[in-house]
């Protein structure tokens, strides 16, 4: 059994004052209410001796503020990135004196509605609505007219109805192309990984690359996983492809590309340069270490909660920069 909580009345009785005097002292209104310093000291001592803990839930019934934030995500499991966004959200919430609930809808609108309903029953003040992969969403009806910020997702409407925090994928595409152009690459640059119209990140990155004037050779299509990338790059090399640089759409693809290049005896970066997106832990573990453009998941989480709990402002889409982490996988083109 949890220890019984001391009541305000018990504190007042021990201090020899009225209940309202004790309340004024413990809520910092002793100056307004002209309470003697002696009485104040007695109340504080009694509160300490009884381990008095103001009942925040009773107080929140009056003030309607619980200082809690709920983060609702489609998934929290499958990717270490989710953990980083969560961590950023948690740090920002705590910095603003709030506690963080988490919930996972698994993309099921019925689970989502139940979850939001449960949070509303506990009078959660504000919500972060998050998606694992950047995509367009419809804000659930139960959350309309409440404080909500979207993390890694966008609304469908032309002008944003909520603050949206997303990675600047277009800018990341520009950075990838410029990094190769700056190293002297002009020819034999291949994109590795399937680009689908439905995948926001891929579409935006490709547009960003295109904007630099960089010319891409035939793409090497594969799923965004190491084994698929290994098969696709190996097949291309066996078919006589002589790539000078690979732009891999994530670090897992880059791992598969590394394995294929190594197996075919094409050293990185002497014969083939590789650049990637994510900057996951893996990037620094590969040999040679992989140059990768970082997804700012911690910052997305932090900024989402900061925007939610900070001063109100007009809804806007915030595109967070994706910085390049230069490592050892890019060299000068060998045959130019």
Binding site for a second copy (CB under 8 A): 1-3, 53-58, 60-61, 66, 68, 76-77, 79-80, 82-84, 86-87, 90-91, 94, 99-104, 115, 117-123, 145-147, 226-227, 230, 252, 255-256, 259, 262-263, 282, 285, 287
Backbone angles phi, psi at 327, to 5 degrees: -130, -135
Helix H or strand E segment including 68 = strand 68-73
Q: Which is nearer to a second copy, 263 or 326 (CB)?
A: 263
Q: Which is nearer to a second copy, 33 or 61 (CB)?
A: 61
CB of 87 to a second copy, least distance (A): 4
Q: Which is nearer to a second copy, 204 or 251 (CB)?
A: 251
CB of 325 to a second copy, least distance (A): 16
Task: Write the CB contacts of 22 (distance below 8 Å, at least 6 apart in sequence).
Answer: 8, 11, 12, 15, 43, 46, 47
Structure tokens at 161: 């109805």
Q: Which is nearer to a second copy, 121 or 182 (CB)?
A: 121
CA distance linking residue 74 with residue 127, whole number of Å: 14
Q: Which is nearer to a second copy, 170 or 230 (CB)?
A: 230
Task: Report the sign of the C-alpha dihedral through residues 209, 152, 133, 297, in that order.
Answer: positive
Q: Which is nearer to a second copy, 175 or 250 (CB)?
A: 250
CA distance linking residue 148 with residue 310, whole number of Å: 12
DSSP 242-258: --SEEEESSHHHHHHHH
CB of 57 to a second copy, least distance (A): 5
Q: Which is nearer to a second copy, 13 or 60 (CB)?
A: 60
CB of 261 to a second copy, least distance (A): 12
Task: Write the CB contacts of 54 (distance below 8 Å, at least 6 apart in sequence).
Answer: 8, 26, 27
CB of 91 to a second copy, least distance (A): 8
CB of 215 to a second copy, least distance (A): 31
In total, the chain counts a number of residues equal to: 336
CA distance linking residue 236 with residue 241, whole number of Å: 6
Structure tokens at 135: 């995509």
CB of 241 to a second copy, least distance (A): 20
């Amino acid at each position: 059994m949890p220890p019984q909580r001391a009541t305000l009345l018990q504190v007042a009785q021990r201090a020899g004052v009225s209940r309202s005097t004790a309340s004024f002292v413990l809520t910092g209104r002793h100056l307004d209410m002209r309470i003697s310093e002696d009485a104040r000291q007695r109340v504080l001592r009694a509160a300490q001796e009884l381990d008095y803990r103001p009942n925040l839930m009773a107080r929140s019934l009056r003030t309607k503020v619980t200082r809690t934030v709920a983060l609702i995500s489609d998934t929290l499991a499958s990717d270490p990135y989710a953990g980083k966004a969560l961590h950023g959200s948690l740090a920002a919430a705590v910095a603003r004196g709030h506690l963080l609930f988490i919930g996972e809808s698994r993309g099921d609108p019925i689970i989502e509605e139940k979850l939001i309903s449960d949070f509303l029953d506990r009078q959660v003040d504000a919500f972060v609505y998050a998606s694992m992969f950047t995509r367009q969403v419809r804000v659930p009806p139960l959350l309309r007219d409440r404080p909500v910020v979207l993390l890694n997702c966008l609304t469908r409407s032309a002008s944003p109805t909520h603050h949206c925090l997303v990675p600047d994928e277009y800018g990341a595409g520009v950075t990838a192309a410029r990094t190769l152009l700056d190293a002297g690459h002009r020819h034999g640059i291949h994109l590795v990984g399937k680009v689908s119209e439905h995948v926001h990140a891929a579409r935006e990155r490709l547009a960003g690359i295109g904007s630099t004037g960089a010319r891409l050779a035939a793409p090497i299509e594969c799923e965004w996983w190491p084994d698929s990338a290994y098969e696709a790059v190996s097949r291309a090399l066996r078919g006589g492809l002589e790539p000078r640089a690979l732009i891999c759409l994530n670090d897992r693809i880059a791992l598969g590309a590394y394995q294929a290049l190594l197996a075919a005896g094409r050293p990185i970066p002497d014969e083939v340069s590789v650049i990637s997106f994510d900057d996951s832990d893996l990037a620094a573990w590969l040999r040679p270490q992989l140059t990768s453009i970082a997804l700012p998941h911690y910052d997305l989480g932090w900024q989402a909660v900061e925007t939610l709990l900070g001063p109100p402002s007009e809804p806007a889409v915030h595109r967070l920069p994706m910085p390049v982490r230069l490592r050892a996988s890019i060299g000068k083109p060998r045959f130019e």
